[in-house]
Amino acid sequence: MRYFRANINTMVGYTPGEQPPLGVKIVKLNTNENPYPPSPASLQVLQKIDGEQLRRYPDPMATEFREAVGNVFGFPPDWILVGNGSDEILNSIVRACVEQTQKVVYPTPTYILYRTLAQMQPAQFVEVDYDKDYNLPIEQLIAANGAVTLIASPNSPSGHAIPTTLLSQLASQLSGVLVIDEAYVDFAEADALEIVKTHDNVIVLRTLSKGYSLAGLRLGFCFANPSLLEGLVKVKDSYNIDAIACSVGTAAILDQSHKVNNAERVKSSRAKLTTDLKQLGFHVYPSQANFLLVQPPKSNAEEIYQLLKKQGILVRYFKQVHLDNKLRITVGTEEQNQILIEVLTQILT
Ligand SMILES: *Cc1c(COP(=O)(O)O)cnc(C)c1O
């Protein structure tokens, strides 16, 4: 279409995982949502939202939520920025920090949105392959010299986490910004939040979409040195956090025990699902997230994806290099995982 800029015409655009309408009976294990409900305290706040709260514009900086995050994680509020999902913060980072002649750098396979954001800018992008054991290609990442380097840890779709010492080393050696995307950190053994305090080029991203069971609310946040957040504030939508998200999200972030308990359930189901899938002959990559990357015993991942779908089970299949023989399966409830294993058993025998 001639009305678009050239880079918009040529780019593919991000394709989110399938979202069947609510009420359709399906075992939905394709987009890494938390299988358990959000904090009851946050749902109570939702019940009490009134017209007056919606009549007014919301707080541009979501101060109530920002202060709650600061209290929970031990940071002053000016070290925190809130986004309409962490996707919006990623968008703001690329828009604020990368010139057209500069590069966005990330190891692959990873979150496909990183490439989409570079193409929208448009900026150059450099994709550095992980090796087969998902070791961080740190030398190549440094050599690529990105204005922004993006690392998801735990990573999607592999589920592996990067040791904090390596991330800290990377932060010291990069001349640009290092973004550590911790969307799945609530299911992991460690986090990299401390690095923010000692490196003024590091942004740590968090979200309420996975650990807090609030993907529909669209609320993410990040930690960084206040001087680095200044530029992001200039490019974000002025009223990016709606009044409902701010109130409901505040209650959810303050209810850490609800999140922790659900994460414990997911982690124990993850261990059981790993054992069951291995018993069926799958290769299962070690995961610190709420999903498993698996390789079927016979090289027929796409066929299995289709057969599962026919039986009402949605998992994620990526038709791309390194992933076209693998499936990414979100850890569901015990009951959902059981159904998956039963149907997979039928398919494979
Ligand atoms: C799910 C996910 C996000 C979170 O996006 P939101 O916009 O906060 O829902 C960010 N990064 C990665 C790698 C993810 O998988």
Give the residue ranges of DSSP H helices in 11-85.
40-47, 51-55, 63-73
**Per-residue pLDDT tens over the stretch 117-172:** 999 999 999 999 999 999 999 999 999 999 999 999 999 999 999 999 999 999 99
C-alpha torsion 82→86→88→93, nearest 10? 90
Q: Whose CA is nearest to atom 14 of ligand 1?
A: 183
pLDDT exceeds 90 at position 21? no
Q: If residue 293 lies in a helix (H) or strand (E), which one and from where to where? A: strand 291-295
Cα–Cα distance, 224 to 119 (Å, whole number): 25
**Per-residue pLDDT tens over the stretch 184-226:** 999 999 999 999 999 999 999 999 999 999 999 999 999 999 9
E strands, 209-252, in order: 220-223
Q: Residue for token digits 């204005």?
A: 147
Three-state DSSP state, 59: coil
Q: Is the dihedral of CA 122, 99, 321, 295 positive or negative?
A: negative
User: pLDDT band at residue 299, thresholds of 50, 70 and 90?
Assistant: confident
Q: Residue 24: its pLDDT value, please?
A: 81
Q: Residue 156: its pLDDT value, please?
A: 97
Cα–Cα distance, 235 to 267 (Å, whole number): 37
Decide: 179 and 92 in contact? Cβ < 8 Å: no
Ligand 1 pocket test, candidate residues 15, 90, 153, 156, most atoms within 8 A of CB: 156
220 lines ligand 1 (CB under 6 A): yes
Residues 6+ apart with CB under 8 A from 318: 109, 157, 324, 326, 328
Going from the Cα of 346 to the center of ligand 1, the distance in angstroms, rounded, reads 33
Cα–Cα distance, 135 to 192 (Å, whole number): 17
Cα separation values, 138 from 155, 162, 168, 231, 326, Å: 15, 11, 11, 27, 25
**Per-residue pLDDT tens over the stretch 232-271:** 999 999 999 999 999 999 999 999 999 999 999 999 999 9
152 lines ligand 1 (CB under 6 A): yes
Q: Whose CA is nearest to atom 13 of ligand 1?
A: 111
87 lines ligand 1 (CB under 6 A): yes
Decide: 35 and 291 in contact? Cβ < 8 Å: no
Q: Residue 16: its pLDDT value, please?
A: 83
**Per-residue pLDDT tens over the stretch 4-16:** 999 999 998 888 8
Q: Where are the domains of the chain?
A: 18-37+257-348, 40-254
Going from the Cα of 83 to the center of ligand 1, the distance in angstroms, rounded, reads 11
Higher pLDDT, 306 or 18: 306
Q: Whose CA is nearest to atom 10 of ligand 1?
A: 183
| CATH class of segment(s) 40-254 | alpha beta
pLDDT > 70: percent of the chain: 100
- Tokens read off for 53: 């709260």
Going from the Cα of 211 to the center of ligand 1, the distance in angstroms, rounded, reads 11
Cα–Cα distance, 210 to 173 (Å, whole number): 31
181 lines ligand 1 (CB under 6 A): yes
- Closest atom of ligand 1 to CA, residue 207: 8
186 lines ligand 1 (CB under 6 A): no
CATH number, span 18-37+257-348: 3.90.1150.10
Q: Model-level pTM?
A: 0.97
Ligand 1 pocket test, candidate residues 207, 221, 237, 316, most atoms within 8 A of CB: 207
pLDDT exceeds 90 at position 345? yes
179 lines ligand 1 (CB under 6 A): no
Three-state DSSP state, 116: helix
Ligand 1 pocket test, candidate residues 94, 108, 111, 287, most atoms within 8 A of CB: 111
User: pLDDT band at residue 288, thresholds of 50, 70 and 90?
Assistant: very high
Q: Is 221 exposed, middle or buried (0-12, 13-18, 19+ CB in 10 A)?
A: buried
Three-state DSSP state, 18: coil
111 lines ligand 1 (CB under 6 A): yes
- Closest atom of ligand 1 to CA, residue 88: 7
Q: What is the DSSP string of 50-106?
A: -HHHHHSPPPTT-HHHHHHHHHHHT--GGGEEEESSHHHHHHHHHHHH--TTSEEEE
Q: If residue 284 lies in a helix (H) or strand (E), which one and from where to where? A: strand 283-284
Round the average pLDDT of the chain to a whole number and report it: 97
Q: Whose CA is nearest to atom 11 of ligand 1?
A: 183
- Closest atom of ligand 1 to CA, residue 219: 8
User: pLDDT band at residue 321, thresholds of 50, 70 and 90?
Assistant: confident
pLDDT > 90: percent of the chain: 93
- Tokens read off for 176: 């640009």
For 139, phi then psi, to 5°, come to: -65, -45
